[in-house]
Amino acid sequence: MSTGLARAALRAHRPAFVGTAVAALFAATVVSASMMMLLVTSGDGLSAHARRVMAANDVGDMAVVLLMSSIYLSIFVIASTMGTAVAQQHRELALVRTIGARPRQVRRAVAVQALMASVPAAFLGFLLGGLVARWWASGMVTHGLFPPEVTFRFSWLALPVCLGVAVVTSVLGGLLSALRFSLLKPARALAEAAAGRRRLGVVRAPLGVLAVLGAGALSVLLTRQSAEDAGQAAFFVLLLFCLGVGLLGPRIIGPAARLVSALVGRFGGTGARLAPLNVRSQPRRFAAAVLPLVLVVGFGLIKIATHTTAAHHTGSGGTKGEIWLDYVGTSLYAGFAAIAAANTLAMISLERRRDLALLRVVGAQRKQVRAMAVWESVVVAGTALLLGAAVAFVTLAPMLSTLYGSPVPYVPLPVLAGIGGGVLLLTMLATGLPVRMVLRRRLLSPSGV
């Protein structure tokens, strides 16, 4: 029965589990590339000269940090995406509970879904990661971080790590998301599936507060470290902040969205007024989309501001090779998180077929629905930019104050405009294209409603 439930859910919620597979694919790609780079730095047969060059550039330590960061980020994003996928089928899970399915059968069906989505993605991501690592190693040689004698070698040792991160995280994320809901009585499960859950769990809220407090404490401790060590560890401060934001979810993202919505509601017509209402009425759904964007904005600003602020105060942002490596790592992580955010937004938009069809039935025109989607993108992007900038500032302020006597980072306006424009474009594409696809279907077809 569990396999049948899993297949039925996959057919009914293709966007959700395609989204899970995409998240697992890119997670495995990043982990595979980072793992292979670590293996290159610790490879046997290197001369003493090659080892001295790599040690002088701290290549080994950077490779370890990159691998740990990629694993942490992958777990974070996959679990969030899988949780969204499970939440989108709460109604179906409640119905099968009503007709007699046991809690363990529901959880087993979710685990099977996770396996179907993540195993093929992990294998493909492992292969793609090898291509990324080959390009990465070539760039390291070009920028003098690797001596020319260091050659890239494809390694199968990265495959178990990719499978472990993508598959185990998907399954655990799905099981944890389904655990509480599967134990509810059928009548209550149906009610919650219809209205959504408003309160945070008794464990989730304290953990979220601890994560935020821990990030603040770690940020203060970094003021006693060297600028290079502090810059590398700032990523973990960011992840703790994002973990706290993710756990607290609507309690943090909701107020930020209301602030942005108040500004958006002053512009435009009906679409501009409907969009904030949609975002605020479903805080958990949009929190899942905002969180990866917060990671993109926060991480990008931290890495960029570290170099631009140093150049502003001292005239140098660091050696060219170190800066190149930092920006490549930043691009890899930011790209992964951006894809995860777009993936989640697309999942949400495609799962709103009924809502969009009802708007059309009561008289809304296609252009009004599309305008609403555009304004929703503005609210989501604005909320992510606001929270991401706040996280970046709190992360950087103690370190910058110690180094330069001022907690305010220096980031050129074109860079800020590029980050803001990129986030807005990403949200518009991820929301607008699925909405256009939905609007092309018949209003009351079985697949449209």
330 in the same domain as 240 = yes
290 in the same domain as 369 = yes
261 in the same domain as 139 = no
253 in the same domain as 398 = yes
pLDDT, position 195: 59
80 in the same domain as 24 = yes
pLDDT digits (tens, 9 = 90+) for 160-190: 999 998 898 888 888 887 887 777 777 777 7
Name every residue whose Cβ is closer than 8 Å to that of residue 314 and which is 6 or more positions away in sequence.
Answer: none
Q: Residue 443: is its pLDDT beyond 60? A: no
pLDDT category at 440 given cuts 50, 70, 90 is: confident
Return d(Cα 86, Cα 9) in angstroms, integer.
10
101 in the same domain as 63 = yes
User: Where is the domain boundary, 166, 195, 224?
Assistant: 195
183 in the same domain as 206 = no
Of the candidates 380, 376, 389, 386, the one whose C-alpha atom is nearest the C-alpha of residue 432 is 376
- Radius of gyration of the chain measured on its C-alpha atoms: 23
447 in the same domain as 407 = yes
Exposed/middle/buried for residue 373 (C-beta within 10 Å: 0-12, 13-18, 19+): buried
Of the candidates 320, 373, 354, the one whose C-alpha atom is nearest the C-alpha of residue 448 is 354
Of residues 285 and 449, more confidently modeled: 285
pLDDT, position 44: 66
Exposed/middle/buried for residue 276 (C-beta within 10 Å: 0-12, 13-18, 19+): buried
pLDDT digits (tens, 9 = 90+) for 369-386: 777 778 888 888 888 898
pLDDT category at 448 given cuts 50, 70, 90 is: very low
Q: Which of 81-95, 100-114, 419-433 holds the top average pLDDT?
A: 419-433
Of residues 131 and 205, more confidently modeled: 131
Q: Span 110-137, mean pLDDT?
A: 90
Q: Span 134-145, mean pLDDT?
A: 87
pTM as predicted: 0.81
User: Where is the domain boundary, 195, 212, 243?
Assistant: 195
pLDDT category at 232 given cuts 50, 70, 90 is: low
Using a pLDDT cut of 70, give the percent of the chain over it: 84
185 in the same domain as 147 = yes
206 in the same domain as 172 = no
Q: Residue 12: is its pLDDT beyond 60? A: no
pLDDT category at 441 given cuts 50, 70, 90 is: low
Q: Residue 300: is its pLDDT beyond 90? A: no
Q: Span 329-346, mean pLDDT?
A: 80
pLDDT, position 193: 64
pLDDT digits (tens, 9 = 90+) for 78-97: 877 787 777 777 777 777 77
pLDDT digits (tens, 9 = 90+) for 262-292: 776 666 566 666 666 666 666 667 777 788 8
Q: Which of 214-223, 263-272, 316-325 holds the top average pLDDT?
A: 214-223
306 in the same domain as 382 = yes
pLDDT category at 447 given cuts 50, 70, 90 is: very low
Say if CB 408 and CB 321 are below 8 A apart. no
pLDDT digits (tens, 9 = 90+) for 41-79: 876 677 788 778 787 777 777 778 778 878 877 887 787
| Amino acid code (one letter) for 183 | L
pLDDT digits (tens, 9 = 90+) for 390-404: 888 988 888 888 778
pLDDT, position 125: 93
Of residues 191 and 107, more confidently modeled: 107
82 in the same domain as 45 = yes
pLDDT category at 227 given cuts 50, 70, 90 is: low
Average model confidence (pLDDT) across the chain: 79
pLDDT digits (tens, 9 = 90+) for 242-252: 788 777 877 77
User: Where is the domain boundary, 195, 228, 250?
Assistant: 195
Q: How many domains does the chain have?
A: 2
Using a pLDDT cut of 90, give the percent of the chain over it: 10
Give the range of the structural domain holding residue 380, as residue numbers without chain letter.
198-449
